[in-house]
Structure 1
Amino acid sequence: MLFMAALLAGVQLPGFVQQYEDAVLAHLAEARLALAPFERDARIHTQGDVTALIKRYQQNSDAAVRDGAASIQQLLQRVIYLEQVAEQLQANALVRGWYALLQPDSELFAEVQSYYDYRVPLNLTAIIWGLTCGILFAAVFDFVVALLVWMLPKRRSKSGA
């Protein structure tokens, strides 16, 4: 039963990782869309340098424009951050699993977790993950049980005379 539980959990992992990657890419697309007008302005006014555009906003005498610089800076940082997260997910299944499950963005992870649908994708990746999790869990469990049995003092039977 433990093997089957680990197998079923392992089969879920690729679907969760894929939904996490989809969430990262969706947020990245949204952040890029929000930054696009400022990138156009940067191409016109600062040879495409968004950081130089932000500096111009910061140096403006109008307080509203200066405050806008912080918003543009946040958008730019968000795009850069999400691009880095998305880049980490462009690797093999093991690396993708590591970043999505053990080093995720906490907000995106919580979002995916709250909307995750427990599906069982029967593709090669899911089967490999499932079998690997099941076999590893069963092997660790068997090892621990064998170790405990070996460590227990052996009872010697007394022969009656």
Structure 2
Amino acid sequence: MFRSYLRLLLFTFGLLVGVQVPGLINDYSQRVEAHLLESREGLKGFEATARRFFNGDLQALVRHYRSSDDPVFNSDANSIDSLLIRNRQFEREWQILQGPWLERTWHVLVRADSQLREETLNGYSYQILLAPEALAWGLSCALLLALLVESLLLLIGWVVLGGRRKPVAESWR
């Protein structure tokens, strides 16, 4: 009986962990989008200047600022350059998050920007989504966790017992 409750507890834990995956991916996507919109907003004034004087080429604007002897312009060139680098990073993240669900999931769980993932995890509030993908993730994680743990415990028991089976008690009949 205890073993059945332990299985049920393990399955429930796997289910609750699994339903968090779509919520985490959604929160990460929203954070990337917010940062992307903010970086675009930060570049708007410089883009207007680049359109006006350099046919929209921001790199030409940066080169022009760098070629100046004025330390203020040099400092602004560094600021614009860092804004551009950050914007490209968010654009790449956003493009990846528009791909298929498996690619998005793999990216967020394994290859995501560490700073953005940390921000997402710090601000994440656990939730139970009743969306189909959340249920699929939950059931998949629950079954996989239950299968792995029970298989591991059976393997350990088999190794400890030396591959012997316990004798089966005779029936009362």
Shared fold, TM over 0.5: yes
In 2, the alpha carbon distance for the partners of 1:119 and 1:156 equals: 44
Of the three residues 12, 18, 41, the one matched with 2:20 is 12
In 2, the alpha carbon distance for the partners of 1:134 and 1:46 equals: 57
TM-score by length of 2: 0.85
Report 1:81-96 matches (<5 A). 81-96=89-104
Q: 36-45 or 71-80, which moves further after superposition?
A: 36-45
- 2:70 equivalent to 1:62: yes
User: What whole-Å deviation, never above 9, does each CA across 1:6-28 have from its counterpart, x for those lacking one?
Assistant: 11010011011100110011001
Equivalent residue pairs, number:
157
Query: Structure 1: 5+ residue runs without aligned partners?
Result: none
Partner of 2:40: 32
- 2:82 equivalent to 1:74: yes
Report 1:139-154 matches (<5 A). 139-151=147-159, 152-153=161-162, 154=164
Percent identity, aligned pairs only?
A: 37
Of the three residues 85, 106, 109, the one matched with 1:101 is 109
In 2, the alpha carbon distance for the partners of 1:146 and 1:156 equals: 13
In 2, the alpha carbon distance for the partners of 1:93 and 1:116 equals: 20
CA-CA distance at 1:94 after TM superposition: 2.1
In 1, the alpha carbon distance for the partners of 2:69 and 2:32 equals: 37
Q: Measured at CA, do residues 140 and 36 of structure 1 come closer, stay the same or move farther in structure 2, by a change above 3 Å?
A: same
User: What whole-Å deviation, never above 9, does each CA across 1:124-150 have from its counterpart, x for those lacking one?
Assistant: 010011011111111111221232233
Q: CA RMSD in A?
A: 1.6
Q: 114-123 or 70-79, which moves further after superposition?
A: 114-123
In 2, the alpha carbon distance for the partners of 1:90 and 1:147 equals: 42
TM-score by length of 1: 0.91
In 1, the alpha carbon distance for the partners of 2:43 and 2:51 equals: 13
In 1, the alpha carbon distance for the partners of 2:133 and 2:123 equals: 22
Of the three residues 29, 36, 41, the one matched with 1:21 is 29
